[in-house]
Amino acid sequence: MQWLLPVIVFAPAIAGVALLLFPQRPAKLIAAGATLAVFLLSLWLYFGLLNGSATTFGDVLHPQWAVDEPWINIALGTFHFRVDYALGADGLSMPMIVLNALLTFLAVVGSWHIDRRIKFYLALILILETGVMGVFAAFDLFLFILFWEVELIPMFLLIGIWGGARREYAAWKFLIYTLVGSSFTLAGIFLIYVQTGGQSATYQHYASVASQLTGSLPLFGGSVSLPLVLFLLLFAGFAVKIPMWPVHTWLPDAHTEAPTAVSVLLAGVLLKMGAYGLIRICLGFVPQGVQEIAPLLGIVAAINVLWGAGASMVQHDMKKMIAYASVSHMGYVLLGVAGAAASVGGASLLDFRQAALTGATLQMFTHGAITGMLFFCVGVLYDKAHTREIDIFGGIATRMPREITLYSIACFASLGLPALAGFVAEYLVFTGTYALLPAQTVFAVFGVVLTAGYLLWMLRRSFFGPLNLKWRGLTDATLREAFPLAALAVVILFVGIYPQPLVDLITPAMQQTLHTVVQALAVH
Amino acid sequence: MTSHIDGIQIWMLAPELSVVLLGFLVLGLDLITHNRRVVAATALIGLLIPLGFTLSLVVKQDALTPDHTAFFHMLVVDGYALFFQFLFLVIGFGVLLVSYGYVEKFLRVTIGEYYSIILLSLAGMMLMASTGELISVYISLELTSIPLYILAGLSRSDTRSAEAAVKYVLLGAMSSAILLYGMALLYGATGTTDLTEIARNTQAALSSGNLVLLAADVFIFTGFGFKISAVPFHMWAPDIYEGAPTPSTLFFSVGSKAAGFAALLRVFIFGGLAAISGGTYLWVMVAIVAAVTMTLGNVVALLQTNIKRMMAYSSIGQAGYLLVGFAAIMISNSPAGNLGILAFLAVYVVTNIGAFTGIIGLADATGKENIRDFDGLGRRAPFIAAGMGLCLLSLAGIPPMAGFWGKLFILLTAWNQGSALTWLVVLGLINSAISIVYYANVVWRMFVAEPEKRDRLAMSGSVTLTMAVAVVGILALTIAFGFLLTGLGGGAGGLFPTATTP
């Protein structure tokens, strides 16, 4: 079954190029068919892996159904350059692969009404899907950075061509922020490759030498800790993507200006690339570097949570509000990772580390589903009303019962209502980090209150109360429009009520990562 | 070394010889027939003959003279030379094919004249990579350059073209003079013009405190610095790129640059000059030139409004990345740095041919060459625009195009030299981020901006075909980059004098 993962990764791009050769209508069907097929294949992979090994996908050292062929392998003098075509999936990447497949399929369905240059649009979305899949599936660091940059230009063009009024500014800002960040990540990859022997760049290699990666580097006459430098370089690109305060400012612009389906993908999966890099590469391969900076990372995480929530509070545009909410919610991921790596307590707090890290990983999945759904909701509303101004609406729940019910579910999930997906992840993160980084956690918890504040306030102002007569002609979402919303609502409810399957799969992968973290603590 | 000229030696010269003969044949054919297609087809099909000779030399390397030299060490046919011969023949194919339509429309010369000038210059370029002796390096450099001066001035009704030709001649002559001066010093210090002998003598000369050798190094580097448009010897490039007819510009940007590097590496590595530089801090000069070259090239490219000027600064920036690899060679005589340069050049050549094909296509159809004129090309000529976009992004180092691997590998080889070049690599990465702004700007104009006119542009078959080959080439090079490195490894390593190879 080794062919399955490569097909999932490359099929979208192939379909994306192929559909350009067809007329508009069949092209749409090809896009929908291909993304649906990839989603089904990803489910097959998910359950196939599950059945194959009884309970787990394995971890980074033991990926199932993985592919690993030498791609570039050259030795010359003392220099060795080796890149493996290595694809694999474990408990960390598999949920992301399924999420990406699902959201891309829904994005194609949600873009059905677009007529302007639709073939080009769909082709870019499908190439984007391949890039993101590759990031999650790559098991070699050079392959990872290759896929990491594939996503850039399609997203740049998607915002630039189909975006809102300030699309030019937003697209360029996105491009420049991401590029500058990823330049440093590439420098970090060079450094870790050379420092760990320069023989191989596979994840297995880095994971197995991670705890021995110590020492210092000469710098301007003094010396700095090698793991810390590695962490800072590698993290630079991820921090922009996550996005971490203070390099988050591209996000509100990009998310607000992008067309609905693209906002969904941006918030749903592209931000997760950063979080994935943080957990897989920073925490997994340079745990000591994360440890050295964990308290500070925790503080920045708390700032992320509160800053994002505070900014959401004062927005007048629904989409911008949700964009800032993303900044806030990705702060929980940062907090969870910082907690898991904190040097407090050593190995004795392993259960708390486990909870924090599992929570952070789960938050990646649930935030993707919830924010994706929120953006779809705003999109449907915008298509009907041609505005996203929060104060302009009023009482429209009576006119759009279907849309507003689903919108409310998404809002409740986002504010962490128990029995919906958001709660599980946030609860795990806070439970874990309170023991490890108490001060930071205490501040960050207020984010939950603020989130409830701005979401409920928006619900009251826009949807409930007396109907603003200007909107009496508003029609409800059609079944096609409501389909992506309903699909995501099902996912959110399921994970909220019964998160066990997902948690069970994430845990073993995280156990391995934490094993390295604790080992590194011991070495320290 | 054999003391007489025999069949094997002629065979070793056959690729260059057949290119020269083909040049004369094409020129003569112009007198007999006025059918442009016949002339063009003869040239393109004729290029298969030197290609065949080169491949036969690749396959039958054991049948050559034992030390792979001929004509009293003047000709060296090693893996390195054969790679460059192959590369120049690819350039020849690309340039001849893509210029077919342009020459008829904009230049008042016959196709035979134009092709024969290019072929003669091509023979010079092939020789630049394959000579093992200073005088023949110089002669092949002039054989390369003089046709290039003519190519710059071929738009006879355009004053910019005339200006370009005059500037090119004057600056070319000056750089040749500097190069000759360096060579003279080198001869004075070592008593020979044979590079193999020089490699043997330099170590002794330097250990006896011979600073003449250092001066020779600097002058020779400066002389070649003009050819590869390294800052501060780059001033000619933007004016001449802009003024020359576009297919000629393409030929300068790939052919002249690759030939400059071919000869530079030949003299510095094969001639043993790089081996002495580690202890002399000559590498610091090269590293600084590399840093300034890529930074100035990429930053100034941001400000350009003319696409050819932009590509001129882009090619200066690309020369900067190549010089990073050269700095790695200078610092530790590293074969990996040499491999990085060869692989980068291979990718750069294919990519730049593709990018210029787009420019030539637009010029063919509309006669315009400002960046603004690319507005909406994505809808007016989708295939050409898409292909050109991919090539520009490859130059910027965006995957999945091969430019990504080229840049990554050359920077990694420099990084591997220890902490001395780390700053240069980081600067290279930052430059790479800067460069994407002007490359992406063209992509933005082609695909996002609204055009003034919406009519479809008809692209000639030769332009479309060249673009298709270039795009397939850069995507194939991504996948086959491992094979490229493995295949070039021997040639890159074999250039180093055996005594000093680590």
Q: Could you count the other beta carbons within 10 Å of the beta carbon of residue A40?
A: 12
Nearest by Cα to A443 from A320, A248, A309, A292: A309
Query: Cβ contact (<8 Å) for B443 and A157?
Result: yes
φ and ψ of B411, to 5 deg = -70, -35
DSSP classification of residue B64: S
- Which position has the higher pLDDT, A52 or B309? B309
Query: Cβ contact (<8 Å) for A198 and B436?
Result: no
Q: Assign A62 to helix, strand or coil.
A: coil
Q: β-strands A222-225, B69-70: how paired?
A: unpaired
Is residue B476's pLDDT more than 80? yes
Exposure string for A192-220, b = 16+ CB within 10 A, e = fewer: bbbbbebebbbbbbbbebbbebeeebeee
Instruction: Indicate the residue type of B70.
Output: A
In angstroms, the Cα distances linking A359 to A409, A451, B467 are 21, 18, 50
Of B335, B425, B448, the CB nearest to A190: B425
Quickly state the pLDDT bin for B1 (edges 50, 70, 90).
Answer: very low
Tokens of B495: 């250039």
- Average model confidence (pLDDT) for chain B? 88
d(CA A468, CA A472): 7
Name the one residue in this structure whose structure tokens are 């603004």: B372
In A, minimum Cα distance to B483 occurs at A72
Tokens of B172: 């070319």
Query: Cβ contact (<8 Å) for A146 and B481?
Result: no
Q: Assign A87 to helix, strand or coil.
A: strand
| B101-130 mean pLDDT | 90
pLDDT in tens, A59-107: 777 777 788 888 888 888 778 888 899 998 888 888 899 999 999 999 9
In A, minimum Cα distance to B407 occurs at A186
Nearest by Cα to B415 from A78, A240, A214: A78
d(CA A492, CA B496): 63
Instruction: Mutation target for A interface from B331, B448, B478, B501: give the one with most A CBs within 10 A.
Output: B448
d(CA A198, CA A359): 34
For chain B, the distance separating the N- and C-terminal CA atoms, rounded to the nearest angstrom, is 26
In B, minimum Cα distance to A233 occurs at B426
Residues B306, B241: contact at Cβ < 8 Å?
A: no
Residues B316, B229: contact at Cβ < 8 Å?
A: yes
Query: Cβ contact (<8 Å) for B404 and A79?
Result: no
| B398-408 mean pLDDT | 89
Q: What is the pLDDT of residue B501?
A: 39
Query: Cβ contact (<8 Å) for A147 and B399?
Result: yes
Query: Cβ contact (<8 Å) for A190 and B443?
Result: no
Residues B443, A152: contact at Cβ < 8 Å?
A: no
- Looking from the CA of B297 toward its CB, the CA atoms found within 13 Å total 37
| Residue segments in chain A with a per-residue pLDDT below the cut of 50 | none
Residues B396, B435: contact at Cβ < 8 Å?
A: yes
Q: Phi-psi region for residue B73, left (φ > 0), alpha (ψ -120 to 50) or beta?
A: left
Q: What is the pLDDT of residue B277?
A: 58
The separation between CA A60 and the C-alpha centre of its own chain, rounded to angstroms, equals: 19
Is residue B29's pLDDT more than 80? yes
d(CA A200, CA A212): 16
- Judged on CB neighbours under 10 Å (0-12, 13-18, 19+), B471 is buried
Is residue B71's pLDDT more than 70? yes
The separation between CA B52 and the C-alpha centre of its own chain, rounded to angstroms, equals: 22
Instruction: Indicate the residue type of A113.
Output: H
Residues B350, B88: contact at Cβ < 8 Å?
A: no
DSSP classification of residue B178: H
Which residues of B lie inside 8 Å of A (Cβ-Cβ)?
334-336, 339, 378, 393, 398-400, 404-405, 408-409, 411-413, 415-416, 419, 425-426, 429-430, 432-433, 436-437, 440, 443-444, 447-448, 481-482, 485-486, 489, 492-493, 501-502
Report chain B's C-alpha Rg in angstroms.
Answer: 22
The separation between CA A365 and the C-alpha centre of its own chain, rounded to angstroms, equals: 7
Q: Assign B75 to helix, strand or coil.
A: strand
**Contact pairs from chain A to chain B, CB under 8 Å:** 103
Of A78, A179, A191, the CB nearest to B433: A179
Q: Assign A36 to helix, strand or coil.
A: helix
pLDDT in tens, A267-322: 989 999 999 999 999 988 898 888 888 889 999 999 999 999 999 989 888 889 99
Residues A288, A232: contact at Cβ < 8 Å?
A: no
Tokens of B255: 């052919």
Peptide bond between residue A484 and the one before it cis (omega within 30 degrees of 0): no
d(CA A228, CA A240): 18
In A, minimum Cα distance to B441 occurs at A172
DSSP output for A231-249: HHHHHHHHHHHTTPTTS-T
Q: Phi-psi region for residue A245, left (φ > 0), alpha (ψ -120 to 50) or beta?
A: beta
Q: What is the pLDDT of residue A403?
A: 85
Q: What is the pLDDT of residue A346?
A: 67
HEC string of B173-190?
HHHHHHHHHHHHHHHHHH
| B161-165 mean pLDDT | 90
Residues A241, A255: contact at Cβ < 8 Å?
A: no
In A, minimum Cα distance to B398 occurs at A149
Exposure string for B408-424, b = 16+ CB within 10 A, e = fewer: bbbbbbbbbbeeebbeb
Residues A76, B492: contact at Cβ < 8 Å?
A: yes
Q: What is the pLDDT of residue B320?
A: 94
d(CA A160, CA A60): 37
Count of positions (residues) in chain B: 502
For residue B482, which residues of chain A lie inside 8 Å, CB to CB?
70-74, 83
- Average model confidence (pLDDT) for chain A? 87
For residue B443, which residues of chain A lie inside 8 Å, CB to CB?
153, 157
Name the one residue in this structure whose structure tokens are 């800053």: A307
d(CA A373, CA A489): 8
Residue A161 near chain B (CB below 8 Å): yes
Query: Cβ contact (<8 Å) for B444 and A176?
Result: no
Helix (H) or strand (E) holding A71: strand A64-76
In B, minimum Cα distance to A120 occurs at B447
pLDDT in tens, B275-289: 765 566 788 889 999
Contacts of B363 (CB under 8 A, 6+ apart): B102, B106, B246, B369
Tokens of B419: 């902490």
Instruction: Mutation target for A interface from B375, B393, B415, B501: give the one with most A CBs within 10 A.
Output: B415
φ and ψ of A369, to 5 deg = -70, -45
d(CA A175, CA A162): 16
DSSP classification of residue B194: B
Q: Interior CA angle at A202 toward A199 and A207, to 5°?
A: 100
d(CA A324, CA B458): 47
Listed by start position, the domains of chain B span 277-502
- Judged on CB neighbours under 10 Å (0-12, 13-18, 19+), B133 is buried
Tokens of A321: 């509000």
Q: Is the dihedral of CA A82, A88, A93, A98 positive or negative?
A: positive
DSSP output for B326-395: HHHHHHH--HHHHHHHHHHHHHHHHHHHHHHHHHHHHHHHH---BGGGGTTHHHHSHHHHHHHHHHHHHH
For residue A157, which residues of chain B lie inside 8 Å, CB to CB?
443-444, 447-448
d(CA B178, CA B222): 7
Tokens of A26: 């069949």
For residue A183, which residues of chain B lie inside 8 Å, CB to CB?
429-430, 432-433
pLDDT in tens, A335-345: 999 988 887 77
d(CA A456, CA A465): 13
Residues A372, A488: contact at Cβ < 8 Å?
A: yes
pLDDT in tens, B173-207: 999 999 999 999 988 888 888 888 888 877 666 65
pLDDT in tens, B175-184: 999 999 999 9
Helix (H) or strand (E) holding A418: none
- State the ipTM, two decimals: 0.88
For residue B411, which residues of chain A lie inside 8 Å, CB to CB?
190
pLDDT in tens, B312-368: 999 999 999 999 999 988 887 788 888 999 999 999 999 999 999 999 999 888 888
Quickly state the pLDDT bin for B208 (edges 50, 70, 90).
Answer: low
